[in-house]
Amino acid sequence: MNNKDDGKGYPRVISTPPGRNAKEWVERDNKVISQSYTRSYPLVVERGEGASIIDVDGNRYLDFTSGIAVTSTGHCHPKVVDTIKKQAEKLIHMSGTDFYYPCEVRLAEKLVSITPGEKQKKVFFTNSGAESTEAAMKLARYHTKRPHFIAFYGGFHGRTMGALSVTASKPVHRRGFSPLIPEVTHIPYAYCYRCPFEHDPEGCDIECLAFLKEKVFRHKIPPEEVAAIFVEPIQGEGGYVIPPKPFMSRLQSIAKEFGILLIADEIQSGMGRTGRMFASEHFDLLPDIITIAKGIASGMPLGAMVANSDIMDWESGSHANTFGGNPIACEAALATIEILEEGLIQNADKVGRYILSELEKMKKVHPLIGDVRGMGLMIGVELVRDRKTKEMATTERGEIIQAAFKKGLLILGCGYNVIRFMPPLIITEDDADKALSIFDEVLTEVEQNRFKG
């Protein structure tokens, strides 16, 4: 494990954040950096070590964000750092679009062997999640020669024009950017935790996906004109929503029935985060195309679109990029996968189960907690003002995130009223206890304010 400690322990807040230095940097940042970013609190980072982040005022935080589910092996894992240094001395860039280099091939060989499904597969390398989505959209259209896409409400696939078109998470992502790419239809995801009908989860998939067959295909789109269905096996940005297993199998069988490609967006849920290399494995899902990014290279910018070889039939020149499959990023990814396979995925499963069981206990004493759900270290806590009406505790969610930050715990939200725990996969139960104890404290404070009198 890479939880290096400087002997002083973490979290350790020596000056209530934002400290003097942080304030100065935030002021400078505000003048020159786009305000479109979604900064939740004024954390100004100096360096990262394992599961901790040190800010410019010397405060040491426990990082339960992993830089938005990216630093799976912890910050600056020595093996990843060493690999990056060695590769930087050898070759930084040559472009896989026009030339060949071994590490790109080695990584592609590895990815086709670890992604679900026994079919022969091929890889297209990208620089981000959105770019992986774009590549999948283009390949799906090219291969099927069909124009339409189906995606889900709550789904998030990126912010470039194509990716934004299949995204339907929050209006702020789309406001001011229309027209987007036409021929995208969104359908309801399996929001069982909010379902007003309280269906038996085994049957609920029928209700949700009936919309696709009985409304969309009957009244709007001929299914033979649909190129692909985009689905996150576990919705991330939408609120860490886990569908029941039959939802996924039924989706897969509908796709098969109409010759529609199934694209699993594993950009957030992949690379070991859920206690399996890919979340699709929990659902026995065999996607035709898988999109990857975030956790693949411990923080180096890299993404990938992995497709069955018979689908990746586009011609030379039809899709490419300058930086995709950068040698340093590829080597970092190979090192990351090696570390993941050395026990981190099992650790994510084990510590994730522990956190879930502790959160279930906390739910009994904290009325704000409406639901606790997760797989591995992709865990969501839904906050409600009233468990019966499920009125969303969005303001309280913000207060909790701010208060946790001031006490040295970094967390982020998703959906409108969910807090997500997505720590590096290296964390120990001891780290989990520290985070849960801060979470418990701030929940108590916010509840005292909310429910007093």
Ligand X SMILES: Cc1ncc(COP(=O)(O)O)c(C=O)c1O
Instruction: Tell me which residues touch ligand X (CB under 6 A).
Output: 68, 128-130, 133, 156-158, 232, 236-237, 265, 267-268, 293
Say if residues 234 and 242 touch (Cβ distance below 8 Å).
Answer: yes
CB of 303 to ligand X, least distance (A): 7
Q: Which is nearer to ligand X, 158 or 380 (CB)?
A: 158
Q: Which is nearer to ligand X, 73 or 167 (CB)?
A: 167
Q: Which is nearer to ligand X, 57 or 265 (CB)?
A: 265
CB of 191 to ligand X, least distance (A): 17
Q: Which is nearer to ligand X, 18 or 154 (CB)?
A: 154
Q: Which is nearer to ligand X, 52 or 133 (CB)?
A: 133
CB of 350 to ligand X, least distance (A): 24
CB of 133 to ligand X, least distance (A): 6
Q: Regarding beta strands 412-414 and 409-410, do their DSSP bridges make them parallel or antiparallel, or are they unpaired?
A: unpaired
CB of 378 to ligand X, least distance (A): 10
Q: Which is nearer to ligand X, 232 or 358 (CB)?
A: 232
Q: What is the 3-state secondary structure (H, E, C) of the chain?
A: CCCCCCCCCCCECCCCCCCHHHHHHHHHHHHHCCCCCCCCCCCCEEEEEECEEEECCCCEEEECCHHHHCCCCCECCHHHHHHHHHHHHHCCCCCCCCCCCHHHHHHHHHHHHHCCCCCCEEEEEECCHHHHHHHHHHHHHHHHCCCEEEEECCCCCCCCHHHHHHCCCCHHHHCCCCCCCCCEEEECCCCHHHCCCCCCHHHHHHHHHHHHHHHHHHHHCCHHHEEEEEECCCECCCCCECCCHHHHHHHHHHHHHCCCEEEEECCCCCCCCCCCCCHHHHHCCCCCEEEECHHHHCCCCCEEEEEECCCCCCCCCCCCCCCCCCHHHHHHHHHHHHHHHHHHHHHHHHHHHHHHHHHHHHHHHCCCEEEEEEECCEEEEEEEEECCCCEECHHHHHHHHHHHHHCCEECEEECCCEEEECCCCCCCHHHHHHHHHHHHHHHHHHHHHHHCC
Query: Would you tell me how many other CB atoms lie within 10 Å of the CB of residue 193?
Result: 17
Find where tokens 């120990």 sit: 428
Q: Which is nearer to ligand X, 107 or 221 (CB)?
A: 107
Q: Which is nearer to ligand X, 68 or 195 (CB)?
A: 68
CB of 205 to ligand X, least distance (A): 21
CB of 185 to ligand X, least distance (A): 19
CB of 76 to ligand X, least distance (A): 20
Nearest Cα to Cα of residue 184 among 218, 220, 158, 219? 220
Q: Which is nearer to ligand X, 156 or 283 (CB)?
A: 156
Q: Which is nearer to ligand X, 84 or 267 (CB)?
A: 267
Q: Which is nearer to ligand X, 51 or 130 (CB)?
A: 130
Residue nearest to ligand X (CB): 129
Q: Which residues pair with 228 in a beta bridge?
A: 149, 261
Report how far apart, in Å, the C-alpha atoms of 239 and of each of 189, 232, 244, 292, 413 are.
11, 12, 15, 19, 8
CB of 418 to ligand X, least distance (A): 14
